[in-house]
Structure 1
Amino acid sequence: MANVSPAVPDTHPPVKPRGWYRRNEIALTPWLFLLPGVLFFAVYVIVPIFQSFYISLWEWNGLGDLHETGEYVGLANYERLLGGDRKFEVSFWNNIRWLVLYLLAIPAGLFIALFLNQTVTGIRLYKSLFFFPFVLSQVVVGLVFSWFYLPREGLLNAILGVFGAGGLNILGDPDLATYGIIAAGLWPQTAYCMILYLTGLNAVDPEQVEAARLDGAKGWRMLWYVILPQLKPATFIAFVVTIIGALRSFDLISVMTNGGPFGSTRVLSFYMFEEALSEFGFRMGYGSAIAVVLFLLMLIFITYFLWSMWREEKAARR
């Protein structure tokens, strides 16, 4: 009879099944890092947006508890906005002017960035001079341009006088004041777009540029077909930031004209402040309705650019 060796006992400890977190660790870890930022964003951005929607349905002066001192009026605040409020109409169309003209900062910033991306003598000095407006406070920018536009002592009228042109009181003219403030806002906004494009130009693939040169591309063709497609992320950020800056143009107006002359330079953000928080207002419900309109206007533009970028990326993957 053959000898049968005894079975060797298994000395390895039993493998414990991994827990749910261990099985999903790779997928969950990024969300754990994002969680604090998401919570702050929800508490300080998302929740106030819904609060503004809710308060806009009430007539409330902001004092005391909303449900005790306020009166529920439904959509009456919106009916008043759209039913012939002249101040709202002026503010709305001024915001449209801001949106259209403020977008000039994007091509201006691009061309300045293309110039500063060259290797020429003194380029660091030029970069510093163009970057300087970006670090200035909007209040300082407003004061500088207010002095620049002074009807008698201002530098603008001194320059016009050299060419024999008459003096202009830009901030005192209801037809020109809004455009004067927009010009003041374009100064730092162009510098910001320039910085975005300078960062984007550093990431442009030099091999694609060299291949395009070998194919005979240069000048505008090089810019349009080779450089700009690689600058789409910078362009998107520039559009979003410029649109937001145009729609929240409160500080420059407050410093330069305080909404005047005759209310001609009001925008929605300034009108919202006047209605909700100024000494002549304290109509929190009406101010919240203006804020909701401003938010929806901003949302429409940003959603359009997001959808456009998503459509282009989807078409590029095919």
Structure 2
Amino acid sequence: MFLVYVIAPIFQSIWISFYDWDGIGAKTWIGIGNYVELFDDDAFYTSLQNNILWLVLYMLAVPAGLFIAIFLNQTVTGIRIYKSLFFFPFVISQVVVGLIFSWFYAPGFGLFYLFLEEVIGTPIAILADERFVTYGIIAAGLWPQIAYCMILYLTGLNNVSPDQIEAGRLDGAKGWRMLWHVILPQLKPATFIAVVVTVIGALRSFDLVSIMTDGGPYGSSRVLSFYMYEQALSEYGFRMGYGAAIAVVLFAIMMVFISGFIWRMVRDERSGG
């Protein structure tokens, strides 16, 4: 199943990227022509820049999820209500998240729009401003992503050894020292999964961009996955080869980040760090 539905499509996409093809007619071999055009395409660089911004800011979901998980792991009054509230973003569709934040930013009646009008006197239409639109979409994406990381860490905290915690307390560890030297080393598997899914989520950020801005204004909020869709499957193109070339670049970026993190984890495990 993995070979048929994952490995084979990867190599098929790489193969298609060397053709000029509309998805229906005959393919025309053009070698690296799609890649040459790609690296001279301003829209590609805008999409790549936005994806890097997504990657950097999306990683905030990992520490945020960790600290929320630590809070929810406590025994306090009403903790089940808190868990339900923090868990809620994870179970709703990305489409719903996009619509909620579109209303949140909406000029005239959006809560954030009215808040800015009250605080700074000059309201900003976030999704219509090229300077802020990508940040607004990333904020929308962080809401459910933090919830996902929180769930991973809650599961990991259930497997933390009480004996090591007690030993740390006897050695005088508490607060940040306890977290850094005793708890976090035992949460490495959860951290690995959280980082991987966050990197993947940042790079395949198609749905929120499509729902909230459709790549606008003026293409300023495009990301690579959305630009790939525009070129390969929308009314703008049906250029399957060019879209496949974008997909290959996106896959390469994803593999660099994930492979680097795997290498670091393996190195730490072998060195006992």
Q: If the TM-score is normalised by the length of the shorter chain, which range does it land in?
A: over 0.9
2:90 corresponds to 1:134:
yes
Following the alignment from structure 1 to structure 2, what is the Cα–Cα distance between the partners of residues 198 and 262?
41
Measured in 2, the distance between the counterparts of 1:312 and 1:165 equals: 51
Where in structure 2 are there 5+ consecutive unaligned residues?
Answer: none
Cα deviation per residue 1:248-279 (whole Å; 9 max; x = unaligned)? Answer: 00000000000000000000000000000001
Deviation at 1:88, TM superposition (A): 0.3
TM (norm. structure 1) is 0.84
Matched, 1:70 2:27: yes
Q: Give CA-to-partner distance per residue, 1:116-166, whole Å, 9 cap, x none.
A: 111000000000000000001000000000000011100112223443532
* Alignment partner of 1:51 is 2:12: yes
Match of 2:146 among 180, 190, 200: 190
Paired with 1:224 and 1:294, the residues of 2 have a C-alpha distance of 34
1:260 touches 1:266 (CA, 8 Å); kept in 2? yes
SS in 1 for 2:226: helix
Q: Match for residue 106 of structure 1?
A: 62
**Letter matched to residue 151 of structure 1:** P
Structure 1 unaligned regions, length at least 5: 1-39
Alignment of 1:1-318 (within 5 A): 40-64=1-25, 69-82=26-39, 84-316=40-272
Structure 2 counterpart of 1:130, one-letter code: F
- Paired-residue identity, %: 68
Q: State the distance in 2 between where 1:200 and 1:146 align.
A: 34
**Normalised TM-score (structure 2):** 0.98
4+ residue runs over 4 A deviation: none
CA displacement, residues 52-102 of structure 1 (integer Å, 9 cap, x when unaligned) = 1110000000013xxxx12100001001111x2000000011000000000
Give the 3-state SS of the residue equivalent to 1:168 in structure 2.
Answer: coil
Opposite residue 72 of structure 1, the aligned amino acid is W
**Root-mean-square deviation over aligned CA pairs:** 1.0
Corresponding residue for residue 32 of structure 1: none
Aligned-partner SS, 1:204: coil
Tell me which amino acid in the other structure corresponds to 1:157: Y
Q: Is the CA contact 1:152–1:167 (under 8 Å) kept in the aligned structure 2? A: no
Deviation at 1:195, TM superposition (A): 0.3
CA pair 165-204 structure 1, distance change in 2 beyond 3 A: farther
Structure whose CA Rg is larger: 1
Structure 2 equivalent of residue 26 of structure 1: none
8 Å contact kept, 1:91–1:268: yes
In structure 2, the residue corresponding to 1:293 is in which secondary structure?
helix
Q: 1:160, 1:302 → 2: CA distance?
A: 38
